Chains A and B, each alone.
Chain A
Amino acid sequence: MKKRIPLIIIFCVGTLFVLAIFLPFPPFPAMEGEVSVWFDILKGFAFVLGGGNLIRVTADKIRKGHPDRFYLWVTLVGFFGMLGVGLLQLGGPIASGGDFTTEGLWFRRIYDGIFAPCMAAIFSTLAFFVSSAAYRAFRAKNREATVLLVAAFVILLGRTPLGNSLTAWLPDFLSFLKIPWLFEKILMYPNTAGQRAILIGIALGIISNSLRLILGVERSYLGGERS
């Protein structure tokens, strides 16, 4: 009972949304948009669970005398501080659409001073990681790795002024060896071929996985393969 009802729900809802696309009369065409809104509302409810979990796990660690107690307090202060500032709307109201860009809002100041710089800084560390990964991964260890290396090398070279001038002297009948030409063609042909095969594979994987979920063949998220 506890496991059967969810399976019936998945079957009905899943089938409904597969068929909806073939049914051109109301309410079907508008259904997906409406249920997406429901999904967002459910995410809102789920914040109670997630936020509660964050507070509980952090507080538990503090209580048990975790060596990082100080930092765990920082998390709690940051959390309740931002929550308070946002809900009490210090410095002025946050517009109903969620626009908080009005000057003087505390919510905006914390966003500009802490949230946005941290986010951008972590995102930009990718420039470092992309270099160290290139150093380690692009080595001609075997034939496959060599193919990877050559493709990456040509594309990297094609993005520098150096790449263009390096092969500019080649005569016309060898123009297919010029870096800009290779750059464009590698991106447009073998690269596209690889991406397309991956996309077709993904589509089949998703179709089959969805079907397994709708039919209740796969149900580990509800616990166990068999009920």
Chain B
Amino acid sequence: MNILKNLLFQLDRRIIYVAIALAVTIPLVFHFAVPLNPSPIVQSLFDAIEALPPESKVILSFDYGPSTLPENDPMAFAFARHLLTRNHRIYMMALWATGERNLDYTIEQVIEKEFPGKVYGVDYVKLGYKAGDEGLINTLFKNFKGMYTTDGHGTNINDIPMMKEITTLEDFDMILNVGSGRPGTKEWIQYAGDRGNIPIGGAVTAVEALLLYPYYPRQLKGLLGGLQGAAEYETALISKYPQFGITGRQAQVYMGPQAVAHCVILLLVILGNVSYFVGKRRK
């Protein structure tokens, strides 16, 4: 009885902290993944990529920094898996200086590990970071190789087979942006998508996603909002390509702790209200 009373009326903040720590740790340790059914806005981006003919040219832009890795990395991974499975060509670049590290990480973790048969320069290329923010998009729109005279490793751009047919942004079949702010999806829409009628797909943090809903579906083929969006995209990918059933669940694994932690917080709110009303009646 005493324990119950303590739980109700004098819930020490440290008990709350322990509950949250466990709610995050346990699902993480046991890889408790939450499969989510793709919402229409996610599914439509997946379908758009599916609909591209093989060997389409797709830009994957890494426009996020270290503080949003848990949200953004799984999105980039899922895009890379999907594009390479469909035999598209990936052109990887970054509008953010801090994005280049994430670009390398995707090559290292996904492309080199899971797609050892794919050839650099033929199936994918690292163009890297260039300064200029949205101004860079503007310049690329007119003259792509004027900005990227070499790839990210310093190789002359004309020596790279998959760059042969590229002169402007309009030569690409789709632009995918993984981002967490400005410049990001909105700038890609304004400076490239709207002007050249190039399909744009976005994958952004939850906070950013709220601002992008108005662009869907006219200017934006689809949108992955936060971890939830990423997890939904993984579900779509795995249900079509079951080979990713083990490796392709980064966001789903992160969604497990999220879902449990949210439930714990909801329970705490209910508990707080119960104790408040019981306490009031006693008085």
| Touch test A–B (CB under 8 Å) | yes
Q: Which residues in A have some Cβ–Cβ distance to B below 8 Å?
A: 123, 127-128, 130-132, 134-136, 138-141, 149, 152-153, 156-157, 159-162, 187-188
Contact A128 B266 (CB under 8 A): no
A161 touches B34 (CB 8 A): yes
Known: A128-B16, A132-B13, A132-B17. A160 touches B273 (CB 8 A): no
Complex Cα–Cα for A149 and B195 (A): 44
In contact, B213 and A127 (Cβ under 8 angstroms): no
Specify which chain A residues have a CB less than 8 angstroms from the CB of B271 in the assembled complex.
135
The secondary structure that dominates the B interface is helix
Q: Which residues of A contact B258 (CB under 8 A)?
A: 159-160
| Chain B residues numbered 6-51 whose CB sits less than 8 Å from any CB in chain A | 11, 13, 16-17, 19-21, 24, 34, 36
Choose one: B16, B34, B213, B276; the contact of A131 (CB below 8 Å): B16
The reply to whether the CB of B238 lies closer than 8 angstroms to some CB of chain A is no
Q: How many residues of B contact A (CB 8 A)?
A: 29
| Interface status of B265 (Cβ within 8 A of chain A) | yes
Chain B residues, Cβ within 8 Å of A162: 259, 263
Tell me if B119 is interfacial: C-beta within 8 Å of chain A.
no
Q: What 7 pairs across the A-B complex have the smallest Cβ distances? A: A135-B268, A128-B17, A160-B262, A132-B13, A139-B276, A138-B269, A135-B272
Whole-angstrom CA separation of A223 from B163 in the bound complex: 64
Q: Are B17 and A138 in contact, with the CB atoms below 8 A?
A: no
- B24 touching A127, Cβ below 8 Å: yes
> Given that A127-B24, A131-B20 are contacting pairs, would A159 and B262 also be in contact in the complex, using a CB cutoff of 8 Å?
yes
Given contacts A134-B269, A156-B262, A161-B36, contact A141 B210 (CB under 8 A): no
- Please report which residues of chain B, range 81-122, place their CB below 8 angstroms from some CB of chain A when the two chains form the complex: none
Could you tell me the distance between the alpha carbons of A91 and B271 in the complex, rounded to whole angstroms? 55
The verdict on B264 contacting chain A, using a C-beta distance below 8 Å, is yes
Known: A160-B262, A162-B259, A162-B263. A135 touches B17 (CB 8 A): no
Q: Is residue B261 contacting chain A, with contact meaning CB distance below 8 A?
A: yes
Other A-B contacts than A132-B16, A159-B258, A160-B263, 8 sampled, CB-CB below 8 A, are A134-B269, A135-B11, A135-B16, A135-B265, A139-B272, A140-B276, A160-B262, A161-B34
Cα A156 to Cα B267 with chains together (Å): 11
> In the complex, which residue of chain A has the Cβ closest to the Cβ of B280?
A141
**If A131-B264, A140-B276, A188-B213 touch, does A160 touch B269 (CB 8 Å cutoff)?**
no
12 contacts between A and B (CB under 8 A): A123-B67, A135-B16, A139-B273, A152-B269, A156-B269, A160-B259, A160-B262, A160-B263, A160-B266, A161-B34, A161-B36, A161-B259
Q: Check A131–B268 contact: CB distance below 8 A.
A: yes
Residues of B within 8 A of A161 (CB): 34, 36, 259
